[in-house]
């Protein structure tokens, strides 16, 4: 059975030797948007972008064959954009001629890909100091590269010892962070307890309801990770706030549609009484109705709030602070109301234009 498997690989590699060249392997027709993005970000012209896609498609097909041929001596592979070829690392120099015949560019290396993967697996199971920013199988370097903050190479010593001779330490000025989006209607948590909804992203953070938190209160995102803190808040009298976000979060023009595509906010022109309006909130999702009145004063048990807009849209606790839009125009953030989304009710929102003016904020639009 083993001889049959070896023979099958030999037949396969021989059959493909004449078909894996960049000219012979056809890639799917690329879209104009893809080609434009490649030209913009890779510094290519249209002809070069299309040629690179063909070469990469050929390299992808060749990689599967080359790995099978190299067997246990396989040391990894990568596409070399400068030559348009697939580079294949092998620990057995006797296999380089055959790899070259297949259309690859062979490279004799010291470590097998399986050894690199095993070393990385050891690091994945190990605790790492804060000075270490990560590690990865560096195919081109034929090593497991451990990245550390500038001047902190000694912090990686224990990991280097665990990975062994395949380890390589590289100092970096980069500090990886999670990249998360601030989106209207999403949940956020105050002091690890109460929950409200994001109103709209603005430069530096987002606006929401004032009764949701006070200056200095901590804020966590929908995933419970640190988002920022309340910098400004007004309630009663008004019902609005500004949360300053940390660098892990990026303001976006999106509002969560809860079941449909996000609404992308284009501006903040105020709609008229009688206009249709929709609301997004983390408890009840997306609901719509009409604007019934403006500049209403509402006497909550906690105090009066003036300048609110009245609607016949339903809402429930936790929707507070959430987004109101007419079409793609931002309108306000949820304040309070009566009823629920089973029986219906009346809900009021604080107009967003007043918040922007009061705090000198700029709405994020798209």
Active site residues: 211, 239, 320
User: Residue 111: which of 141, 86, 80, 85 has the closest Cα?
Assistant: 141
CA separation (Å) from 11 to 14, 24, 73, 104, 232?
Answer: 5, 19, 20, 18, 72
- Give the separation between CA 134 and CA 197, rounded to whole angstroms: 34
- Give the separation between CA 184 and CA 97, rounded to whole angstroms: 59
In the numeric block, which tokens belong to residue 49?
Answer: 């972008």
- Give the separation between CA 25 and CA 60, rounded to whole angstroms: 10
Say if residues 69 and 96 touch (Cβ distance below 8 Å).
no
CA separation (Å) from 342 to 187, 315, 333, 339?
Answer: 21, 10, 21, 8
CA 342 to chain centre: 35
User: Residue 289: which of 272, 311, 273 has the closest Cα?
Assistant: 311
Say if residues 356 and 301 touch (Cβ distance below 8 Å).
no
Say if residues 330 and 267 touch (Cβ distance below 8 Å).
yes
- Give the separation between CA 234 and CA 237, rounded to whole angstroms: 7
- Give the separation between CA 178 and CA 247, rounded to whole angstroms: 9
In the numeric block, which tokens belong to residue 83?
Answer: 């030559």
29 three-class SS: coil
Report strand pairing: 143-149 vs 194-197: unpaired
């Amino acid at each position: 059975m083993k001889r049959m498997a070896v023979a099958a690989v030999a037949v396969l590699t021989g059959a493909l030797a004449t078909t894996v060249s960049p000219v012979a392997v056809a890639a799917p027709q690329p879209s104009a948007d893809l080609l434009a993005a490649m030209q913009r970000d890779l510094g290519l012209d249209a002809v070069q972008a299309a040629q690179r896609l063909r070469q990469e498609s050929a390299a992808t097909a060749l990689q599967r064959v080359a790995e099978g041929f190299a067997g246990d001596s396989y040391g990894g592979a990568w596409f070399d954009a400068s030559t348009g070829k697939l580079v294949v690392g092998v620990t057995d120099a006797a296999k380089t001629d055959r790899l070259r015949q297949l259309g690859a560019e062979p490279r004799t290396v010291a470590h097998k890909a399986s050894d690199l993967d095993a070393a990385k697996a050891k690091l994945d199971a190990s605790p790492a100091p804060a000075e270490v920013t990560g590690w990865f199988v560096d195919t081109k370097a034929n090593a497991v590269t451990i990245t550390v903050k500038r001047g902190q190479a000694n912090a990686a010593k224990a990991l280097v010892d665990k990975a062994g001779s395949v380890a390589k330490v590289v100092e970096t000025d980069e500090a990886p962070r999670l990249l998360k989006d601030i989106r209207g209607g999403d949940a956020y948590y105050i002091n690890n307890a109460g929950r409200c909804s994001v109103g709209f992203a603005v430069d530096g953070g987002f606006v929401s309801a004032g009764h949701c938190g006070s200056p200095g209160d901590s804020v966590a995102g929908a995933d419970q990770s640190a988002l920022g803190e309340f910098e400004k808040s007004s309630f009663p009298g008004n019902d609005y706030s500004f949360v300053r976000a940390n660098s892990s979060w990026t303001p976006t023009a999106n509002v969560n549609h809860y079941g449909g595509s996000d609404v992308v906010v284009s501006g903040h022109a105020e709609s008229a009484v009688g206009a249709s309006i929709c609301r997004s909130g983390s408890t009840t999702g997306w609901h719509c109705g009409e604007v019934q009145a403006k500049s209403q004063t509402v006497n909550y048990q906690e105090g009066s709030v003036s300048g609110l807009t009245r609607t016949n849209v339903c809402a429930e606790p936790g929707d507070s602070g959430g987004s109101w839009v007419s079409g793609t125009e931002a309108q306000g953030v949820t304040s309070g109301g009566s009823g629920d989304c089973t029986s219906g009710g009346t809900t009021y929102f604080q107009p967003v234009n007043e918040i922007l003016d009061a705090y000198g904020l700029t709405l994020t639009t798209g």
